[in-house]
Structure 1
Amino acid sequence: MSSSIVLQSLRSDLDPIHQSLLENDQNLRNLAEDYLQDLLINDELLSTDHFTTTNSPKKSIIEEIAELDSQKFQINQELSSITDSNKDLIIDVNNDINEIHGNLTNDYVNSIESLLKSLNIDHTHIQHVSNKYEKILSNMDSILDILELPVLCRLFILQGNYQESLEISTFIKSLIIRFPKIKIFKVINSSIEVELNKMFNGLIKLLNTNLKQSNLFKIFQILNKLETNSNNDQFLHSIFLNSRFKLINNEISSLKPILKFNKVTYLKRYLETYREYLYSSLSLYYSIFKNNIKVILVNQFVTSLIHQLCKEMELYFPKIEGDNDDNQNNDGLILQLIYINKSLASFQFEFEPLILLNLCYQNELFTEDDWVRNLSKTKRK
């Protein structure tokens, strides 16, 4: 019956010729049903065992169940034997456990209470301390986060995230104000201050390089928020002017190899560097500090550089020997000196008398007429 049902369902998948043969030829139909019946009752096809290519004999499910029952029986026998041979030990251990449990639940509590009474210790105080430590343990993640603040501050500084490191410092200081009796906050703050001092020194070194104006502004915003040992009104002004002084001298030092080839070329490049960096330094200073200008500090900064310039001119300014080329070179150098003086005049600094005193009147590198003649060239322009 089942084979005829399977045949009926499979017939629809056959081509029309074979379908008509099955309908008309009863012998063919009987052969097909017998074949399907053999398939349906085949033990190997109905077996749930995994397919294998080996020739080992297969076990039926009943045989496997019997084997598992036999193994279980053997294990139970072994456990029974072990238990029976160690029954005295098991009994002793069970008695010890019951005794310990009784001591912990009854005798221990009574002993603690009697001890507290003998020491005159308030039980409520002990409970309060216990609750306090429980609160600490329940907030352990937050405590660990606070303890890791110095390391986090250092990572921010290494990544150049200076603002975030300052926020960490502000946060720990707020905790010190809120909880002045907790010493660990002060210890953490000291570690953070060490990292901020390293950041401060790194920023100072960075100022000695030729930075863009936007980067200079950012650095001074950070420095302005830092608490330093020399926290006075002139501190940041001195830092800026000192860093620019070093920058200009570093740029001048890079020109020294030119002296081996041509002194006039060296002086021209020297004066060009002075004119460019001196003007840009003063521009940045006035942009950063705006209405808080320290005129005396700026005057000292410029005066020191002008004295250096005059000494360099004394060493390498070409002597006039009647050669037209020498006259042209000298006029070119004098013109650059005039332009430097004019750039300084835009910041209300007048250094023409100092330049003339050193180079014209004292050392006589050129005459006053040379200066006036070249000054008239700039006015015509």
Structure 2
Amino acid sequence: MTDSLLELLAPHLETPRADDTTSQYLNHLSTLSIQDLQSTELQSLAQSSHSTLLSLQALSNRSHRSFITSADNLSSLRTSIPQLTREAQQLRDAIPKLDEAAVGFSTKYSKITDNPALERRKKATQLARNVDRLSDILELPSLLSTAVSAASANSGAGASSTTYSSALDLHAHIKRLQTLYPDSPLIQDVASQAEDAMKEMTSNLIAGLRAQNLRLAAGMRTVGWLRRVAPDLELLQGDGSSGTGEGALGAIFLICRLAHLVSTLEALDPLRELADQETQRRVDAKQKSESWSDGQQTDRYLKRYIEIFREQSFAIVSLYKNIFATEQSESTDSSQKAKDPLQNRPSALATFPMHLVQLLTDTMRAYLPNVRDRSSRESLLTQLLYCAASLGRLGGDFGMILTELSGEEEMEYEWEEVMRKHRALAGRLEQLTSRVAAH
């Protein structure tokens, strides 16, 4: 049917073609009636033609530049392709000559070592190849400083531990680079900046030892970091042969904790000023041969002073003993000790309790005479005995030194009575403990 209609209409068409569009439209015509062909089909064709015209106009308005460019390129395509072919042939013919020239240049100048231009070119080429590595190395000091600053700013133990560990890893990497390239000015500069950052980290760690309420875990962690950051501190006492294995770290720890103790006691300055006023009034009364019966402010000050001293001194010595455990071997050569009696020096803790006791006795000797009430004075002396017994559990009992505090005959009898009561109470407690243990 389609072929028949096409043959029928062929005399009226300019270019009769049997394509898919023509076939589809002729099939569509065969389904229409005579009335539809005369009426609705004409309108449908007119409407489709008008819609197609509008679409072509919109497309031309929107993409006319692309059409013009495509037309120009299409018109020049006939000349561009032969020109591209000729240039590609010329390039292919020139590559062997270029290769021969490069080989000749390399052969001619490879044996020349004193050519400044070639040396600069080699250095520039090597720098271009390693620019990423150099950039990473140059960023190491800033990363290390950032890690140290972040660790000092973070108060949480976990965050500080992570950042300090990262800083130590970065410093170890820089030390490895310094070992591999000892003559490199760049590595030396980076190592110098890293040492400045590690000094800051060491200062932060030492300041951390002065923190309030320092716990055992935090103290051990801080001392461990100090051993990694500043290993020379363990060798400051000589050749490292001391039996404690602490070097100068033990002394630094005790100094920091002593500074914290002193700062805590300085918080009692308002009470101490009141006690100083009572001391002045007592001295004036003694010069005028008048009786002195006051001392309440001094009693408050001394009670609080002894309480803080007892708590902090026990904590200091206890932390020290747990952190710096003695590592001396039992198989020490005794003959070598006899040759050099100063070989194994005592630890920093050997004289530290005496310094603490001196600090306490000086304060008591200065202010205890202000307290004239017998019961208050006995309470203070008992409190001192408890303090001595508390520190005595760690090997620092100073009970006998307290007998030197009594400067008057009346106070000597009070001290003897307090000692007698304290020993009687200790004996009863020991008996009670043994009975409980037996049952």
Report the TM-score when normalising by structure 1.
0.67
CA shift for structure 1 position 173: 1.7
* 1:244/1:69 CA distance change after superposition, 3 Å: closer
Partners of 2:63 and 2:206 lie apart in 1 by: 83
Q: Does 1:34 align with 2:40?
A: yes
Corresponding residue to 2:261 among 239, 244, 248: 248
Q: Tell me, what secondary structure is at the counterpart of 1:262?
A: helix
Q: Does 1:356 align with 2:391?
A: no
* 1:344/1:48 CA distance change after superposition, 3 Å: farther
Q: Tell me, what secondary structure is at the counterpart of 1:159?
A: helix
CA shift for structure 1 position 138: 1.8
In structure 1, the residue matched to 2:394 is 347
**1:142 counterpart letter in structure 2:** R
Q: Does 1:280 align with 2:302?
A: no
Q: Count how many residue pairs are aligned between Structure 1 and Structure 2.
A: 314
CA shift for structure 1 position 143: 1.6
In structure 1, the residue matched to 2:340 is none
Structure 1 gap ranges (5+): 9-25, 50-57, 75-104
Q: How does 1:232-247 map to 2 (within 5 A)?
A: 232-233=236-237, 234-247=247-260
CA shift for structure 1 position 305: 1.7
Structure 2 gap ranges (5+): 1-23, 73-97, 152-162, 238-246, 275-295, 329-344, 430-439
In structure 1, the residue matched to 2:186 is 184
CA shift for structure 1 position 66: 8.2
CA shift for structure 1 position 44: 5.7
Partners of 1:174 and 1:229 lie apart in 2 by: 18
In structure 1, the residue matched to 2:339 is none
Identity of aligned residues (%): 22
Q: Does 1:140 align with 2:131?
A: yes
Higher relative contact order, structure no. (Cα contacts within 8 Å, ≥ 6 residues apart):
2
* 1:157/1:66 CA distance change after superposition, 3 Å: closer
In structure 1, the residue matched to 2:3 is none
CA shift for structure 1 position 142: 1.5
Partners of 1:318 and 1:201 lie apart in 2 by: 42
Q: Does 1:213 align with 2:259?
A: no
CA shift for structure 1 position 312: 1.5
Partners of 1:125 and 1:270 lie apart in 2 by: 78
In structure 2, the residue matched to 1:262 is 297
In structure 2, the residue matched to 1:153 is 144
Report the TM-score when normalising by structure 2.
0.59
CA shift for structure 1 position 366: 4.7
* 1:183/1:30 CA distance change after superposition, 3 Å: same
CA shift for structure 1 position 130: 4.8
Does structure 2 retain, via aligned residues, the 8 Å contact 1:203–1:219?
Answer: yes
In structure 2, the residue matched to 1:89 is none
* 1:204/1:43 CA distance change after superposition, 3 Å: same
Q: Does 1:313 align with 2:317?
A: no
In structure 2, the residue matched to 1:271 is 306
* 1:153/1:252 CA distance change after superposition, 3 Å: same
Partners of 1:341 and 1:155 lie apart in 2 by: 46
* 1:63/1:167 CA distance change after superposition, 3 Å: closer
**1:239 counterpart letter in structure 2:** I
